[in-house]
Structure 1
Amino acid sequence: MKLIGSNTSPYVRKVRVVMAEKKLDYSFELDNVWAAETQVHLSNPLGKVPCLVMEDGSALYDSRVIAEYLDTLTPVCKLLPANGNGRDRADVKVWEALADGVLDAAVLVRLEKTLRPQEQQSPQWMARQLGKVHAGLAVMAEKLGEQPFCMGKSYTLADVAVGCALGWLAFRFPDIAWRDDYPNLAKLHDKLAERASFRDTAPFEG
């Protein structure tokens, strides 16, 4: 398998963490979707990463689709409850949707700030997106409570998604004081950061 992505994308990182936890072999191909020479569109018509290219040349895209598929490939470190446990499985996916939603809003703010001239930027629109980020963080903290992991005692895809979201906020939005506001999220993030899967995929430029 070949994963097309970048070293800074939190969605790519989520997939890389899953692959590490599942002990899956793959090659990692870097691609900058904003560069003129980007090639990801040859495998994903949407031109987005991550994109997982299979041995037969077919491709999977969207981190949620890829992560769910990867969890079926080996029983090592099951990250999603079995299909028969529908409510728990849905709860994990809600955590993932919440984490990805926080990222979606934050990424839009970053793009507004980095791709549009300052005179064309909309402070009101950015404030609306940041409001989603703060609301999402508050719900994460409330749902987590004093549990060791998002779903209680078990490490799941929910923790992977939340850990990648928090890590990217720390990387790109150091001015958002989520560590001070939500000590339980900071504790979870720090615990996850000690895992080899997170340590080896920390975002960086270059």
Structure 2
Amino acid sequence: MKLIGSTTSPYVRKVRVVLAEKKLDFSFEQENVWVPETTIQQVNPLGKIPCLVMEDGSTLYDSRVIAEYLDTVSPVCKLLPPSGRERTEVKVWEALADGVLDAAILVFLERRERPPEQQSAKWIERQLGKVHAGLREMSARLGDSSYCVGTHYTLADVAAGCALGWLAFRFPDIAWRTDYPNLARLSDKLSERASFRDTVPFVA
């Protein structure tokens, strides 16, 4: 398999963490989707990363789809319960963490791609409101638990850890570690795993 992505994308990181946890072999191809010469639409018509190219040349895209598929490929480190309420809770956590990222990335792009005089303060405020509301909900759901769902490591923890890691990378001014010590504790614990240590976001 070949994963197309970047070292800065939290969605790509989620898939890389899953691949590492599942101990699956893959090659990693860097792709900058923001440059004119990008070829990403040859494999993903939506022009997004991550994109997983299968052995037969078919492709999967969207990190949630890819992660769910990969969990079926190997019995090692099952990240999704087979069915029922617990599986739904894991998927809700993933949607929550990804939603925080969706809003934060819109702010990042607004600030990066538009000159200051064209930026919408109202738009930025609205998106940051989603980020902060999402973090509050993540903290409330986690409580004093060691893991996001149940008593063991799941895809919920992968998604949450990647979201928190990207906020630390791109939004150091958001004081989630101070405001939500339980999220900081979770993030620190996850950072001890090789899958997280080896995928810390950086600008290549």
Judge same fold: TM > 0.5, yes or no: yes
Distance in 1, matches of 2:136 and 2:111, equals 24
Write out per-residue CA displacement over residues 118-166 of structure 1, whole angstroms, 9 at most, x where no aligned residue: 1110001100000000000000000000000001311000000000000
What's the TM-score, normalizing by structure 2?
0.99
Distance in 2, matches of 1:5 and 1:17, equals 13
Distance in 1, matches of 2:173 and 2:163, equals 15
In the alignment, residue 197 of structure 1 is paired with which amino acid? Answer: S
SS at match of 1:148: coil
The residue that corresponds to 1:71 in the other structure is 71
Question: Matches of residues 96-111 of structure 1 in structure 2 within 5 Å?
Answer: 96-111=94-109
Consecutive unaligned residues in structure 2, runs of 5 or more: none
The residue that corresponds to 1:93 in the other structure is 91
In the alignment, residue 105 of structure 1 is paired with which amino acid? Answer: A
SS at match of 1:125: helix
Distance in 1, matches of 2:26 and 2:39, equals 18
Question: Matches of residues 18-167 of structure 1 in structure 2 within 5 Å?
Answer: 18-82=18-82, 85-167=83-165
Write out per-residue CA displacement over residues 165-195 of structure 1, whole angstroms, 9 at most, x where no aligned residue: 0000000000000000000000000000010
What is the aligned counterpart of 1:170 among 168, 172, 181?
168
The residue that corresponds to 2:15 in the other structure is 15
Total equivalences in the alignment: 204
SS at match of 2:72: coil
CA-CA distance at 1:198 after TM superposition = 0.2
In the alignment, residue 171 of structure 1 is paired with which amino acid? Answer: F
RMSD of aligned residue pairs (Cα, Å): 0.5
SS at match of 1:71: helix
In the alignment, residue 96 of structure 1 is paired with which amino acid? Answer: E
Consecutive unaligned residues in structure 1, runs of 5 or more: none
Distance in 1, matches of 2:28 and 2:15, equals 11
Distance in 2, matches of 1:199 and 1:40, equals 27
User: Structure 1 residue runs of 4+, over 3 Å off?
Assistant: none
SS at match of 1:29: strand
In the alignment, residue 194 of structure 1 is paired with which amino acid? Answer: E
Distance in 1, matches of 2:191 and 2:125, equals 29
Distance in 1, matches of 2:203 and 2:26, equals 22
CA-CA distance at 1:109 after TM superposition = 0.1
What is the aligned counterpart of 2:180 among 162, 166, 182?
182
The residue that corresponds to 1:4 in the other structure is 4
In the alignment, residue 121 of structure 1 is paired with which amino acid? Answer: Q
What's the TM-score, normalizing by structure 1?
0.98
CA-CA distance at 1:17 after TM superposition = 0.1
SS at match of 2:73: coil
